[in-house]
């Protein structure tokens, strides 16, 4: 063993003589209250866990760099997006539904988050490995997540709840099809794309706004497991993503993603034949071709997983001048939700945790509170602790004001059911998925129906039929096979409003 020359101390820095024997009254006697360092040690152990993220609790991450190689200054004034800019970043990938200790190789959407430390503040891109999402209105998000998490009575995941919700929410068809296709089970974080998913906006020096989609395309190539392969891998390791990402970086094989954008001029959004702010839709590449912007690479593992990956706090509210949001309802809700989650999970001043601290100067007037370890107010003069003041405290930056959002209307609860839920899924089914991939899609879906009540399966089949008759026929055939194999044991209890708690174990 190496000679460890560092001396053990208490948390307040005093040398500590004995970390093996507690202080007792006599050799066999009870403990003494005075053994404060023992109490300190046990108390620390009791506080080693913080609340896990309510979603995306299992994750893997690393540090890296975003490099901009192309000139997109006609779209944005953001310094981070100017040609030649190089910005440090931290990335965190995740599964959505599993808890902090869940197995890595589960069929699930993957989170794809980047915190880019720019000279004008942190820009967080909190996306997924899919370009669309299950719902288009934030009212539906908590219910959707409840169907992905454990059933309140059985404490097990419930395919019945998932398919019940999906079959009653046809806007989910696009994302469900992607989830059940090969893309729904990547072999590692390095072998999948990342998407901002929402429509965001860019604005330039002239105050012109452009709608934008962000894409990060894997340069490692796409790799996926079938369900059977994933089952086998999970039998050997539950941490395959962590192992592959960590080891690739330790071995100097730094993973890279190409950074591309799609651009839509601001007023074109009103003429577009689909709602470009609908998160269940993609922008067709033929109409909005991807434009190269640069790439990012991951090249440094965290020194401490908890400090850097568990404590990292991403939020779509973190934007910088030249980059902004859009009217997308889901994005609007997320602007609120993440910072709120961080205040609960990490503390009021979570932005002071080193991994979240901007690498540029920070001047604001937020005062005291939990985690205010660096002294919140840094204005250069102790008298400047409110705003406006006469003591040369930080002042507003008018040039950071984004142009007005020109899309607006009367406030109302507009019915999102009027959107088309089927056309884009049809294109995906007919034109993108290969025949063998379709076969796996059918089986992946039917394979989860082992205990799902027949009426729910039939309702979902009717939705597949609206996409394409072959989609319905394929899943029905696969379901017949599941039945013939004796693997279909539907829940005997009726799923009605009166019996919400009667769903038995699946």
Q: Kindly compute the dihedral angle of the four CA atoms of residues 79, 84, 85, 91, in this order, to the nearest 10 degrees.
A: 130
Our CB check for ligand HEM shows the closer of 296 and 464 to be 296
Residues 89 and 117 sit within 8 Å (Cβ to Cβ)? yes
Q: Give how far Cα 335 sits from Cα of 66, 339, 371, 484, Å.
A: 23, 8, 22, 48
- Tell me how far, at minimum, the Cβ of 334 lies from ligand HEM, in Å: 5
- Tell me how far, at minimum, the Cβ of 329 lies from ligand HEM, in Å: 8
Residues 254 and 218 sit within 8 Å (Cβ to Cβ)? no
Q: Which of 56, 105, 198, 349 is catalytic?
A: 56
Structure tokens at 341: 């989650």
Our CB check for ligand HEM shows the closer of 72 and 114 to be 114
Active site residue 128: yes
Candidates 330, 350, 64, 338; CA nearest to 189 is 64
Our CB check for ligand HEM shows the closer of 150 and 476 to be 150
Q: Give how far Cα 206 sits from Cα of 33, 230, 342, Å.
A: 69, 51, 35
Q: Which of 63, 105, 122, 128 is catalytic?
A: 128
Of all residues in the shown chain, the one whose CB is closest to ligand HEM is: 111
Our CB check for ligand HEM shows the closer of 133 and 464 to be 133
Q: What are phi and psi of 419, to 5 degrees?
A: -70, 155
Active site residue 56: yes
Our CB check for ligand HEM shows the closer of 16 and 139 to be 139
User: What SS3 class is residue 35?
Assistant: coil
Structure tokens at 281: 């839709």
Q: Give how far Cα 271 sits from Cα of 21, 131, 266, 267, 407, Å.
A: 76, 22, 10, 8, 12
- Tell me how far, at minimum, the Cβ of 111 lies from ligand HEM, in Å: 3
- Tell me how far, at minimum, the Cβ of 93 lies from ligand HEM, in Å: 7
User: What SS3 class is residue 447?
Assistant: coil
The full DSSP string for 356-421 is GS-SS---------TT-TT-S---SSTT--SSS-SS------GGGPPPPP----------GGGS-S
Q: Is 36 annotated as a binding residue?
A: no
Interface ranges with ligand HEM (CB under 6 A): 53-56, 59, 92, 94, 111, 113, 126-128, 133, 138, 141, 197, 279, 313-314, 330, 333-334, 337-338, 341-342, 345
- Tell me how far, at minimum, the Cβ of 176 lies from ligand HEM, in Å: 14
- Tell me how far, at minimum, the Cβ of 60 lies from ligand HEM, in Å: 9
Our CB check for ligand HEM shows the closer of 185 and 330 to be 330
Residues of the binding site for heme: 338
Residues tagged active-site: 56, 128
Residues of the binding site: 338
């Amino acid at each position: 063993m190496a000679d460890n020359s560092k001396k053990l101390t208490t948390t307040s820095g005093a040398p500590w003589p004995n970390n093996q024997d507690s202080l007792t009254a006599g050799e066999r006697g009870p403990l003494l209250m005075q053994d404060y360092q023992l109490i300190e040690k046990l108390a620390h152990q009791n506080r080693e866990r913080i609340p896990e993220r309510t979603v995306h609790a299992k994750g893997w991450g690393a540090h890296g760099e975003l490099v901009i190689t192309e000139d997109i200054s006609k779209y944005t004034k953001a310094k981070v997006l100017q040609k030649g800019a190089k910005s440090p970043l931290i990335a965190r990938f995740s599964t959505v539904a599993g808890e902090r200790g869940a197995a890595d190789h589960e069929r699930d959407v993957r989170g794809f988050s980047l915190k880019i430390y720019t000279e004008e503040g942190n820009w967080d891109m909190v996306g997924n490995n899919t370009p669309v999402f299950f719902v288009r209105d934030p009212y539906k998000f908590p219910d959707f997540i409840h169907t992905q998490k454990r059933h309140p009575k059985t404490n097990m995941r419930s395919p019945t709840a998932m398919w019940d919700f999906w079959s009653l929410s046809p806007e989910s068809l696009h994302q469900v099809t992607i989830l059940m296709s090969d893309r729904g089970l990547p072999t590692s974080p390095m072998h999948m794309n990342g998407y901002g998913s929402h429509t965001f906006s860019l604005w330039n020096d002239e105050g012109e706004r452009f709608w934008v989609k962000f894409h990060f395309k894997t340069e490692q190539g796409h790799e996926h497991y079938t369900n059977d392969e994933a089952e086998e891998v999970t039998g050997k390791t539950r941490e395959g993503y962590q192992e592959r990402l960590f080891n690739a970086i330790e071995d100097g094989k730094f993973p890279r993603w190409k950074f591309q954008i799609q651009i839509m001029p601001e007023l074109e959004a009103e003429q577009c034949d689909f709602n470009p702010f609908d998160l269940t839709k993609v922008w067709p590449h033929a109409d909005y071709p991807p434009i190269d912007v640069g790439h990012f690479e991951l090249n440094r593992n965290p020194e401490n997983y908890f400090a850097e990956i568990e404590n990292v706090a991403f939020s779509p509210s973190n934007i910088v001048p030249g980059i902004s949001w859009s009217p997308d309802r889901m994005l609007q809700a997320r602007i609120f939700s993440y910072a709120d989650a961080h205040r609960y999970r990490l503390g009021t001043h979570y932005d002071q945790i080193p991994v979240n601290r901007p690498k540029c100067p920070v001047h604001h007037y937020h005062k005291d509170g939990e985690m205010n370890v660096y002294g919140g107010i840094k204005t250069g003069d102790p008298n400047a602790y409110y705003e406006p003041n006469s003591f040369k405290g930080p002042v507003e930056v008018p040039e950071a004001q984004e142009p007005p959002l020109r899309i607006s209307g009367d406030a109302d609860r507009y019915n999102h059911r009027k959107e088309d839920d089927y056309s884009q899924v049809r294109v995906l089914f007919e034109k993108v998925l290969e025949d063998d991939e379709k076969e796996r899609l059918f089986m992946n879906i039917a394979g989860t129906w082992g205990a799902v009540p027949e009426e729910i399966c039939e309702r979902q089949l009717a939705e597949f039929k609206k996409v394409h008759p072959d989609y319905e026929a394929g899943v029905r055939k696969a379901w017949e096979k599941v039945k013939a194999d004796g693997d279909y044991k539907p829940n005997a209890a009726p799923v009605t409003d009166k019996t919400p708690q009667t769903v038995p174990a699946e």
